[in-house]
Amino acid sequence: MERIYNIFSFEVGDGSSLVFTKLDFWLFFLLAMVVFSFLHKNKLVRSIYLTAISLFFFYKTSGLYVSLLGLSITVNYFLGKRIYTAPSDLRRKWIIAFSAIFNVLILGYFKYAYFFSDSFNEMFGTDFELVNHFAQFGNNVFGEGSFVLDIALPVGVSFFTFQNISYVVDIYRKEIKPVKNYFDYTFFVTFFPQLVMGPIVRARDFIPQISQPFHLTKDDFSWSIIQIVKGLIKKIVIADFLVVHFIDIIVETPSAYPGFVSVLAMWAYSLHIYADFSGYTDIAIGLSRLMGFKLKPNFNSPYKATSVADFWRRWHKSLGSWLRDYLYIPLGGNRGGTVGSYIAIVVIFTFLIFITQWYELLYVYGGLTVVYLIGVATIKDFKRFVHRDLNLLITMVVGGLWHGASENFVIWGAMNGAALIIYKYWKQISFYENRSGVIVHFWKIFITFNFITFTRIWFKLDEDGMPLVMLDQIWNNFNFSWDVFVTILTTYQAVFWVMIIGFIIHWLPDKVKDLYEKLFMRIPLILQTVCVAIIIFLIYQSISGEAPPFVYLSF
């Protein structure tokens, strides 16, 4: 009983007890579902109840920053209604502009204030210091000490801000109508399975489900359990095991090992981050279905990708589609450019040079400018390709910055943007692009996977400049030795078995994966329960020490 009391008390912890891998969360979810079973028939009561549960869930992770979430929801709800009833296009444009500024300021202030202020001070030799006005105001309202004066990152701010933006923009574009009542909107934004780590839910996909009665068939229930168990296996058995027993050991002291071991660690990291994030979304999707709501899949076997473009169609699909619809296409997409495209690209290039101190990039940018100018002057309609390339690069840099406030994420986004641009031209001249043989297919996957793994060095290492240190270690101390390789395999035997099995399962044909899901769904519920109990027991035997948090919890 004491444990239940701690879960539902208003005592704020660090939020770690309510993550999907902890018993506290499952007790929280079980009790929430018991109450839900009595309330679900009244749709308004259901929305109010799930909003309250979700806000409490957020409160347990971020404390009084739940007031920020409430403010964001309330402002965007009324902005959506005002846009819909606005008497003129000019009024609608003013409202959507205010909405964009409001949401970007929330995200920019809480996630990027230190990053941009430090970058500004470094670029211009100034010494500005940040003042947390939100915390000062909050302490005046709720009492001294309610908020720390350092600007803290509220959990899930990137996800719920993007959901709010998409809702208001979709109303502006007349793609959807405003929700019927305030609590339907609060429920849409705060729905706790996806609140802190996604997937990013679009209003047009989710809000129509709010008016539908609760419906859960045996097949829906079985499918949900499969997703949850699959997610737990990915997170605990694969992701956590790899990062605790191999990846962090190598990455923290790369100089203690030959360079090729760092390559093995980064291959493991690619599997780790996929298993970690897709594991979370699998569980979120399964939990949502148990409550009668369907979320779209967020991953589609990304390491089966045969090109960078194919990879980004398969990885974090909700973010990719959001960036496409609300940034890439408004900038002009494949068709053209805007003034914003040119302003943004100048800012990005300037920013990259100053934060990296790679002044050699000036020659690269200068050379590319000359190439593009020659192309515009000599090739018909080439300007369209210039705009497309600018818009792609801007979108990917913003996508990188969305993941975190550091120069490493900016570089990571820029590299992926550059790769997408190069691929757009390469596929026009590649002699094997349209071939479908086994060797060609394997080669495409191999190249794509290793490029993505290479860029993940900037994703994994937090400290600025450390990726170059690791690359220098790999390049100058590769020193492959068969004896050392065998020793590493022997020392980390369990790790490599997990990697091999993980990649094999990932690369299995979809038909095989569908088959085992269908077989599980056909067996009686009592047998399903026994199977799940055994699997869960075995999963938790692999936990050693404190389990690492989900990677995307910090985004």
- Active site members: 403
Given a contact cutoff of 8 angstroms between Cβ atoms, the answer to whether 466 and 324 are in contact is no
Distance, in Å, from the CA atom of 393 to the CA atom of 342, rounded to the nearest integer, reads 11
Distance, in Å, from the CA atom of 334 to the CA atom of 390, rounded to the nearest integer, reads 10
Give ∠ CA 177-182-183 in degrees, rounded to 5. 115
Distance, in Å, from the CA atom of 323 to the CA atom of 395, rounded to the nearest integer, reads 7
Distance, in Å, from the CA atom of 191 to the CA atom of 185, rounded to the nearest integer, reads 10
Host H or E run for residue 536: helix 525-541
Distance, in Å, from the CA atom of 549 to the CA atom of 111, rounded to the nearest integer, reads 19
Amino acid identity, position 16:
S
The three-class DSSP label of residue 166 is helix
User: What are 440's two structure tokens?
Assistant: 């060609």
The dihedrals phi and psi of 412, each to the nearest 5 degrees, come to -60, -45
Peptide bond preceding 199 in cis form (omega within 30 of 0)? yes
CA-based nearest residue to 243, from 266, 215, 210: 266
Distance, in Å, from the CA atom of 73 to the CA atom of 106, rounded to the nearest integer, reads 12
User: What are 482's two structure tokens?
Assistant: 């068969």
Given a contact cutoff of 8 angstroms between Cβ atoms, the answer to whether 40 and 292 are in contact is yes
For the chain, first and last CA: distance in Å? Answer: 34
Enter the DSSP assignment of 315. Answer: S
CA-based nearest residue to 303, from 288, 287, 291, 314: 314
